[in-house]
Structure 1
Amino acid sequence: MTVPHLLDHPHHDGSALYVSNQTPSLGETVTVRVRVPLACTERGIHLRVVRDGEPRMSAAELVETTATDRWYEAQVLVHNPVTSYRFFVDEPGGYRWLNGKGLFAREVPDVSDFRLTVYEPAPSWMTGSLVYQVFPDRFARGIAEKPTPAWAQDADWGDEPIGSGPGVGTQLYGGDLPGIEQHLDHLVDLGVGTLYLTPVFPGRSNHRYDASSFDHVDPLLGGDEALVSLSAAVHERGMRIMGDITTNHTGDGHEWFVKAQADRSSPEASFYYWQDAEPGYVGWLEHASLPKLDYTSEELARRMIEGPDSVIGRWVAQPFALDGWRVDVANMTGRYADQDMTHEVARTVRRTMQAINPDAVLVSEHFHDSGLDMMGDGWHANMNYSAFTRPVWSWVVAEDSEVPALGLPSTLPRRSGHDMVAAMRDFDSVVPWKVVASQWNMLGSHDTPRLRSLVGSLEMVEVAAGLLFTYPGTPVVFAGDEIGAEGVNGEHARVTMPWDEPERWDGDTLDVYRRLVALRRSSVALQTGGLRWVLVEDDAVAFLRESPEETVLVLVARAPWGGAVLPEAVAPGALPVTVYGDVQLVGDGDGYRLPGDGPGVHVWRLR
């Protein structure tokens, strides 16, 4: 049986091969290109642009015919800051629409149209490298002696983290910022480009998302001087460093909240939402320990997000020199009842950061559909749980897994490659390509189960990691995943790094991560190229990453699947070069035969 491929479908994406200017100015005209395989029977291509809310149609021009495709060009006037468009494919007997989700022989809503925006994308330093997430309490101890705060219970470095119930937030291992600095060579060896730290402000928990102050670094982590030293050491190694901030709430021990409760006429009282019901104020998700911030307060905006003296500004400036922020529960910031200031807050945070450091990055946390918040004028990118993490998990999870589905009253189901790709395309298509190309793609974080616990084997870790390092966006690794760390939920997954326990290191897993990081760093197409799906089967998927300089073919299989044949036109005039895996792609007269083995990852450079 011949497995069908998708190379006979017309294709467009927002990458440089198809869009003449990815960051146009308002009023500029941009050339967009469509690739139509020779096997298609189109009578013509038209562009449909929405301008001021009204669709307009114009004919695309056939500008080139190659040995494999006909190329059409059309002009998009960027009349609105976010300008949406799609393509009309006129065919005998009817027509089809080409949008960000694919090709459709039916009417489709505008939500998945391609988009051009006038907003600058995330700086290339982030998207071109690996982001490495560190939970400071669990990475390394650098300070020999320090007091145990009243809220904490001491843990030995090799203890298993408490996964649920009492002690989850108070089990303290004593990791700190000097400990991280002492182990930066591990990050360099792995190929990390950006160190991302979860919160470093003082609180009354091991995770520190309940800040008691934004004015200084927790002394348990080494204080302000430790962050200054760590930042300098990171930058000396050619890496960047990002912080983590809770713009949505503080802890109930925060100095602002203490003043607000003591004096309801104080400026700080306007920072919070108050209510008659217990506990008398609004908490994040009804948690009394996390009072929610009210951005209708101009004084709160001034202190928290606006200008160089704000919390946001101070830590981006010297001597701390953070290169950006990841914003906790960004989807809820500024939203309460009939108020919605999320976009205003995001734009203000970005403006404040970039006035100090034009290359600073702003990343949101949003666990579900972030499309309406991701047009590119505020958050540069999102932690991409919806379009990457969840779909990939559902494809690679072990068939007998009992790991709970994140945030859902169920175990994680095992789904087909068709379901995985459909979900990816659904969520990718509702944001501009520049955002897709920057999204933080993860296989786990401090809030999720560990990948190894989900999949159960090194082979399936490699399959998942193969997708992570070849898919558009920014790959993010939670410290420990690269050595096979395990954990069945977010709290249980916050294991310590076993620096002095080599028996807890999986060297084979580390080798897989090193090779995949090196592969991505060696390829322009994997860092900046577009995405063209080639094949989608239950147990295997293949796609092209294309840039003007290079084309790469990626095949990922979770199980043996039978293989497929691609037309030789996929690599015209060139011999494919194997850059990952051990299979040479050779034409046999019928085309290039993709191997049907699995689990496995294969990557070939076609051009």
Structure 2
Amino acid sequence: MTTGSAHPDLPHPDAAHLLDVPHHDGSRLFVPAGTPAPGDVVPARVRVPKGAGVRDVWLRTVLDGEPRMTRARRDGGDAHEDWYAADVVVHHPVTSYRFFLDVPGGYRWLDGRGVHDREVPDAASFRMTTHAPAPAWLTEGLAYQVFPDRFARSRAADDREPPSWAVPAAWDDEPAGTGPLAGTQLFGGDLDGVVDHLDHIQALGVRTLYLTPVFPGRSNHRYDASTFDHVDPLLGGDAAYARLAHAVHARGMRLMGDVTTNHTGDGHEWFARALADPSSPEHAMYLWAGSGPDVVAVPGRPGYVGWLGHGSLPKLDWSADETWRRMITGEDAVVARYLREPFALDGWRVDVANMTGRYGAADRARAVARALRERVVGERPDGALVAEHFHDASADLAGDGWHANMNYAGFTRPAWSWLVPEGSLVPFLDLPTGVPRRPGGAMVAAMREFASAVPWQVTAAQWNMLGSHDTPRLRTLVGSRELVEVAAALLFTYPGAPVVFAGDEVGATGTNGEHGRTTMAWDQAAGGGPRWDAATLDAYRSLSALRASSRALREGGLRWAAVRDDAVAYLRETPDERVLVVLARAPWAGVQLPAHLLAPGAQPERLFGDVALTATAGGLYVSGEGPGTGVWRLA
């Protein structure tokens, strides 16, 4: 339905758009492709609509701690907008800059958060970096997260005896959401089970398969590794991991592993020797303390530091040379060994990256990240390194360490708070509250804030998610198939790499991370069923194929076109393509966008969704249906 009474040819009372605001981002329209070297001079372009009232443009950089101003030159334009360009001297590994806009009666600043009529700090300035970006494959297509115990069982799984810590479960049992059973319930998924269902993964358009840990542990999640020397026999062992890697690579996909650099399990062979012999090399690898946060008591001697105080997860000490040698720098170090044949992993997702190397006054986190990247790229020049970091990761994302981050703060949280129904009791990740319902403006402000704090090359590679093995399920959060589709359209059209937790594409449910670790209902795949939503799967497949077909959606910049409480619209643009995306969580008033977005005589090409777009002499009128989506290519 269309709300309101405005005729499509006439301005609507709520028709104001955001496309008359000067704009710059780090995409190819504004900054040349490639990684600059120290000392390079790189032109940075800015687009200035005629209606913005800008008389002149200057570039402000900060070199050696002192601001410098450079007047921009005209660099093209048309009847609707002017383009300016100014040269950025790449004097630092990360060189920041913003634009000074001369307007009648004063001036404005343009930075990553937008245009401001006040003084602003440098935190949101644009950034050019000499650090190489993430490998191109990381953002080429969908990344798909598999929790091995819950994805699929091969026939061989029936012959394996469960370990003493495990409580066997039937495949259709409901996962425990709390209590000891949440970590010990074993469904028996294995690596050959993943191989058996690679057709499903490939049909979804997956380019990167990411598995949570495969090392032995004393839990179903395996983040409490007992060794890094081999793959858990419960999953099929080293041979099964090699079979999976070869099968994935044979289909032209990539395989990423999951490693914990912050801690091991208390059953780890290193920690056993550390406890038994205080003079051992392993003892120096762990953090010991008499008291303090997260200290776990040990009778008769100093205690050890556990992750968040959990005794099962002793924390590694990165002041010890032995920790560096075994994890990163040694010839057979953990992160290097699995990048080689027969596994040939294409990179690592690093668990608890935000805490690695940090304890009290010690902070070696960025040094660890840089060393990890050097080793990964040294073993595999196109290897990737992605961090887990639930909150503000900007201080760790200068581009010299992690290629990208799991973007909970800059994507998941804002998207959830826009899409969730009023009064939700679904927990908001680590906050002591349910997810609050917020207007579109709050979502966009948060996304811009976090994106502005890192270089564009990092924003363009961030792992954007609507859920993971540590969160409630998307379907439970939003409550309807229609809103799942709106959320998925946001995921596949926003800058960065879309990441889907296995099961979201078929409507899996779950109230928290543990409860959401549901098994895949493969027995319902052919005919549908309560645990296999074929319509949702079709939408995910269509959106994944759409992103693969559009350079603008994979690589383009982002211009917000309209922001309302219940709807948002944005443009993704490259030099040769412009795509308009409209997302509505509920019926709204619609919006009229400038006619010059479309070439004279051309018509919009609908790519996805059901929201109506009408091209008239007065502009492009987007109707107010909702919930709904619309994606169009504009000639």
Find the aligned partners of 1:308 and 1:262 in 2 and give their Cα distance. 26
Find the aligned partners of 1:135 and 1:582 in 2 and give their Cα distance. 34
Letter in 2 for 1:525: A
1:596 is the counterpart of 2:624: yes
Which residue is 1:570 aligned to?
597
SS in 1 for 2:181: coil
List alignment gaps of at least 5 residues for structure 2: 1-12, 292-296
Moved over 3 A (4+): 582-586
1:387 is the counterpart of 2:414: no
Question: Shift in Å at residue 549 of structure 1?
Answer: 1.9
Find the aligned partners of 1:515 and 1:21 in 2 and give their Cα distance. 29
Letter in 1 for 2:428: A
1:344 is the counterpart of 2:356: no
Find the aligned partners of 1:114 and 1:456 in 2 and give their Cα distance. 38
Question: Shift in Å at residue 398 of structure 1?
Answer: 1.9
Number of residue pairs aligned between Structure 1 and Structure 2: 607
Normalising by structure 2, we get a TM-score of: 0.94
Find the aligned partners of 1:166 and 1:82 in 2 and give their Cα distance. 46
Which residue is 1:524 aligned to?
551
Task: Render the CA deviation track for 1:217-276: whole Å, top value 9, x for unaligned.
Answer: 000000000000000000001100000000000000101100111111111111001112
User: Identity over the aligned pairs, expressed in percent?
Assistant: 62
Question: Shift in Å at residue 58 of structure 1?
Answer: 0.8
Task: Render the CA deviation track for 1:497-527: whole Å, top value 9, x for unaligned.
Answer: 0111342211111011011111101100000
Question: Shift in Å at residue 582 of structure 1?
Answer: 4.0
SS in 1 for 2:96: strand
Which residue is 2:248 aligned to?
234
Q: Is the 8 A contact 1:14 1:22 kept in 2?
A: no
Find the aligned partners of 1:45 and 1:96 in 2 and give their Cα distance. 10
Which residue is 2:49 aligned to?
37
Question: Shift in Å at residue 189 of structure 1?
Answer: 1.1
- The higher-RCO structure (CA 8 Å, 6+ apart) is 2
Which residue is 2:609 aligned to?
581
SS in 1 for 2:561: strand
Question: Shift in Å at residue 166 of structure 1?
Answer: 2.4
Find the aligned partners of 2:521 and 2:423 in 1 and give their Cα distance. 28
Which residue is 1:311 aligned to?
334
Question: Shift in Å at residue 581 of structure 1?
Answer: 2.0
Which residue is 1:560 aligned to?
587
Which residue is 1:442 aligned to?
465
Q: Where do residues 270-281 of structure 1 align in structure 2 (5 Å cutoff)?
A: 270-277=284-291, 278-279=297-298, 280-281=303-304
Task: Render the CA deviation track for 1:161-188: whole Å, top value 9, x for unaligned.
Answer: 0001121100000001011111111001
1:129 is the counterpart of 2:141: yes
SS in 2 for 1:542: strand
Find the aligned partners of 1:308 and 1:301 in 2 and give their Cα distance. 11
Q: Is the 8 A contact 1:308 1:352 kept in 2?
A: no
Report which stretch shifted further, 480-489 or 119-128. Answer: 119-128
Which residue is 1:6 aligned to?
18
Q: Is the 8 A contact 2:398 2:455 kept in 1?
A: yes
1:182 is the counterpart of 2:209: no
Which residue is 2:269 aligned to?
255
Q: Is the 8 A contact 1:197 1:242 kept in 2?
A: yes
SS in 2 for 1:587: strand
Task: Render the CA deviation track for 1:568-601: whole Å, top value 9, x for unaligned.
Answer: 0122334321111245633222211011111111
Which residue is 1:71 aligned to?
83
Find the aligned partners of 1:164 and 1:483 in 2 and give their Cα distance. 24
Find the aligned partners of 2:567 and 2:139 in 1 and give their Cα distance. 26
Letter in 1 for 2:532: W
Question: Shift in Å at residue 399 of structure 1?
Answer: 2.1
Which residue is 1:361 aligned to?
384
Question: Shift in Å at residue 400 of structure 1?
Answer: 4.0
Find the aligned partners of 1:118 and 1:430 in 2 and give their Cα distance. 17
Question: Shift in Å at residue 488 of structure 1?
Answer: 0.4
List alignment gaps of at least 5 residues for structure 1: none
Task: Render the CA deviation track for 1:59-101: whole Å, top value 9, x for unaligned.
Answer: 0001212132100000000000000000000111000000000
Letter in 2 for 1:532: R
Find the aligned partners of 2:119 and 2:201 in 1 and give their Cα distance. 49
Find the aligned partners of 1:34 and 1:48 in 2 and give their Cα distance. 13
Which residue is 2:209 aligned to?
195
Which residue is 1:81 aligned to?
93
Residue of structure 1 aligned with 2:315, choices 292, 298, 304: 292
Find the aligned partners of 2:201 and 2:227 in 1 and give their Cα distance. 30
Q: Where do residues 130-169 of structure 1 align in structure 2 (5 Å cutoff)?
A: 130-142=142-154, 143=156, 144-169=158-183
Question: Shift in Å at residue 324 of structure 1?
Answer: 0.4
Report which stretch shifted further, 150-159 or 303-312. Answer: 303-312
Find the aligned partners of 2:114 and 2:63 in 1 and give their Cα distance. 22
Find the aligned partners of 2:177 and 2:56 in 1 and give their Cα distance. 59
Q: CA RMSD in A?
A: 1.0
1:605 is the counterpart of 2:633: yes
Which residue is 1:328 aligned to?
351
Report which stretch shifted further, 394-403 or 96-105. Answer: 394-403
Find the aligned partners of 2:80 and 2:430 in 1 and give their Cα distance. 46
Which residue is 2:29 aligned to?
17
Letter in 2 for 1:200: V
Letter in 1 for 2:464: N
Find the aligned partners of 1:224 and 1:260 in 2 and give their Cα distance. 27
Which residue is 1:378 aligned to?
401
Letter in 1 for 2:46: V
Q: Is the 8 A contact 2:109 2:115 kept in 1?
A: yes
1:99 is the counterpart of 2:111: yes
Q: Is the 8 A contact 1:15 1:22 kept in 2?
A: no
Find the aligned partners of 2:129 and 2:239 in 1 and give their Cα distance. 40
Q: Is the 8 A contact 2:614 2:622 kept in 1?
A: no
Find the aligned partners of 2:610 and 2:228 in 1 and give their Cα distance. 51
